[in-house]
Structure 1
């Protein structure tokens, strides 16, 4: 994926798109079997051949204002309901994200009430940069790039909140002699759970995940003997925010 700063074009001009696909706002005819590109000062869309099931009149607009707590205007990337056969590449120019927080930036899809769904992974690159760096190092203005199968309303938000890890059937110093499992409930508010790692007395244990209950659990076996033990689990989200839960228990 790339994020290339295009030539300056006024987003408020409303000029008709040129054959190259460069314009401020407007409609451009996309043929499903072609490589289709749309590019402004603030956004870049690239749709590979055969990603669209049919030709579309691609419609784009950008809001004048930025929503509170967001780092880009709202970009409406087409309004059609034509399904996509594969992901396309979407790059958005960000506004004034502190360098230390740029690795937390993510492109989000907004619903009618501006509720957010993160589009992951979202990688950031400096102004005018080429391939985004996973390190997220960039200047005050940068491009953020992702791949998605959705059209709709997009902006840029930060995910700085660690996942939630809540005890399911354990508390500190609990007697678990008759328990079959040890479990925690996990969730994340935006970019989702990326990984987890659990130990008993510092030794790795393999936990299972029950999606419907958001339950992460370990079924006791011969590896946990009678006596006092320390359970610890660390859960990490899509932007590397991590939370640790720790408790002692007795078998």
Structure 2
């Protein structure tokens, strides 16, 4: 009996670390839509400048599916925008969580009437509304219908679960049991970095990629190459995940890197804070992504990266090649499917490189740089590591002045402020003068800027090449149906295509008989919709219609017409 009891104790201690290292599933919430789930975007998936804060559920190319509240609660926030989440609703629940539903086509009627009233109150389509009156929602109540609003790339439902107190998004995978996943993460490549002047990879001071293949139940470096490394090095990994029944690329949930059988570097994506999401640009190799289009996730931390998801990180993941090493990488998805990769790093010959160190901007201090009419202020905490930076004024091939402000492949975590003196020849154009970024082919993209008599100032999170541009061309309006003199029913909609050639749409205003009227704007399709069902109209009445579109440099276009509402 004693031996059996001891056996139970041994089994308990063997099992316990594994059990308690995993998230405990919690099925407290109702699933938000009544279809077999197909995930098109996972929690904390890598996106441009941010981690994805929820789960995207494909709606099979359809819009209008009923979206249900996952638990009883009250509406805490309603946000309407032509970009971002589009039509979104936030519901606060008594259990300490808030759920968020984005990219809706439209809201349920009791919510929609409240939104419309607020839009007319502040005379704006875009609203960020925190209701003062209690709007109670029951578990399973339809709150809206799935759509493709905002910056959505196709019909789907974006939903989140947040900690109400901290507002941190939490991995929704652990709050449901409908999403199935039996597919292990996929590892495509590793990248080995040299992290000091005398570091080498097979005799070279440059970083090097090694493709990965799968066989015998694990991943291996293709061709089993011999890798000789010296000095301090870091590992990067290109990987992704798939869910069962979906070909959509998703993100990896957890990574452990062991060096000689000891956990050396790890991270796990259970939750994160929105104010730290931009640290993704340090979590990945930002420059390689900008140049080559592939995302390598670092298994070593840059000193200015304060992302909270990291666990064990001996020497911040930096490997000192004093002896040969065995590296073992395990990538997990949230369902605990694992991808294993193991390889050896052989101790290489020490480099005698003694190249002189250049002066650098330190990531721990503020820097104010000036050069020939340019001033650039980089705040403390804007850089992830010390960098070398150029501030240059030169002529472009087409004859305009080009301002080179740092390297566009270097990420910024905070806004830097740049100020440039406006040449006398451009001062007469006033606020029509703006700053633009210039790519390698010479194409210009609007960046913005605020002018006074002598300078233009811009807060930006992008290094790169800038130039001054004059925008005097007004936006265009194209009506998608004839309005003038026609009779319309009260449920009719007026549709317009609005476009601008450079600085982009800044504002849009619609008036019926000189009274502000709601228009709904979808930025990705350049479409503006005026729904008469939400307009201040009466049956049998005649109306003068006026639409004014203004770009970001103050150029505007007006369309006028008239119509009658049927009795």
TM-score by length of 2: 0.34
Shift of the alpha carbon at 1:98? 4.7
Change (3 A) 1:154 1:227: same
Equivalent residue for 1:236, pick from 550, 555, 560: 550
Q: Which residue of 1 aligns with 2:423?
A: 95
Pairing of 1:35-46 with structure 2 (within 5 A): 35-46=366-377
Pairing of 1:119-158 with structure 2 (within 5 A): 119-120=447-448, 122-125=449-452, 138=453, 142-158=454-470
Equivalent-residue separation in structure 2 for 1:160 and 1:98 (angstroms): 12
Query: Is residue 2:448 matched to residue 1:115?
Result: no
Change (3 A) 1:165 1:80: closer
Equivalent-residue separation in structure 2 for 1:170 and 1:84 (angstroms): 48
Change (3 A) 1:112 1:226: farther
Q: Which residue of 2 aligns with 1:246?
A: 560
Shift of the alpha carbon at 1:81? 1.9
Q: Which residue of 2 aligns with 1:8?
A: none
Pairing of 1:1-251 with structure 2 (within 5 A): 28-64=359-395, 67=398, 70=400, 73-79=401-407, 81-120=409-448, 122-125=449-452, 138=453, 142-177=454-489, 180-221=492-533, 223-224=536-537, 225-251=539-565
> Are the aligned partners of 1:89 and 1:148 in contact in 2 as well (CA < 8 Å)?
yes
Equivalent-residue separation in structure 2 for 1:166 and 1:143 (angstroms): 36
Equivalent-residue separation in structure 2 for 1:67 and 1:55 (angstroms): 34
Q: Which residue of 2 aligns with 1:15?
A: none
Change (3 A) 1:114 1:28: farther
Q: Which residue of 2 aligns with 1:5?
A: none
Equivalent-residue separation in structure 2 for 1:80 and 1:186 (angstroms): 31
CA RMSD, Structure 1 to Structure 2 (Å): 2.2
Equivalent-residue separation in structure 1 for 2:426 and 2:408 (angstroms): 35
Deviation readout 1:145-165 (Å, 9 max, x if unpaired): 111111111010111111112
Shift of the alpha carbon at 1:212? 2.4
Equivalent-residue separation in structure 2 for 1:64 and 1:103 (angstroms): 23
Deviation readout 1:103-158 (Å, 9 max, x if unpaired): 211111011222221212x1223xxxxxxxxxxxx2xxx32111111111101011
Listed as ranges, the gaps of 5+ residues in structure 2 are: 1-357
Q: Which has the higher helix share?
A: 2
How many equivalent pairs are there? 206
Equivalent-residue separation in structure 2 for 1:192 and 1:88 (angstroms): 22
Shift of the alpha carbon at 1:59? 2.3
> Are the aligned partners of 1:30 and 1:36 in contact in 2 as well (CA < 8 Å)?
yes
Change (3 A) 1:182 1:64: closer
Listed as ranges, the gaps of 5+ residues in structure 1 are: 1-26, 126-137
Equivalent-residue separation in structure 1 for 2:376 and 2:383 (angstroms): 13
TM-score by length of 1: 0.74
Equivalent-residue separation in structure 1 for 2:510 and 2:373 (angstroms): 43
Shift of the alpha carbon at 1:172? 2.3
Change (3 A) 1:65 1:182: closer
> Are the aligned partners of 1:28 and 1:58 in contact in 2 as well (CA < 8 Å)?
no
Change (3 A) 1:226 1:147: same
Query: RCO (CA 8 Å, sep 6+): is it higher in 1 or 2?
Result: 1
Q: Which residue of 2 aligns with 1:13?
A: none
1:153 counterpart SS class = strand
> Are the aligned partners of 1:60 and 1:77 in contact in 2 as well (CA < 8 Å)?
yes
Change (3 A) 1:80 1:218: closer
Shift of the alpha carbon at 1:184? 1.6
Larger Rg over CA atoms: 2
Q: Which residue of 2 aligns with 1:24?
A: none
Change (3 A) 1:208 1:80: closer
Equivalent-residue separation in structure 2 for 1:230 and 1:36 (angstroms): 56
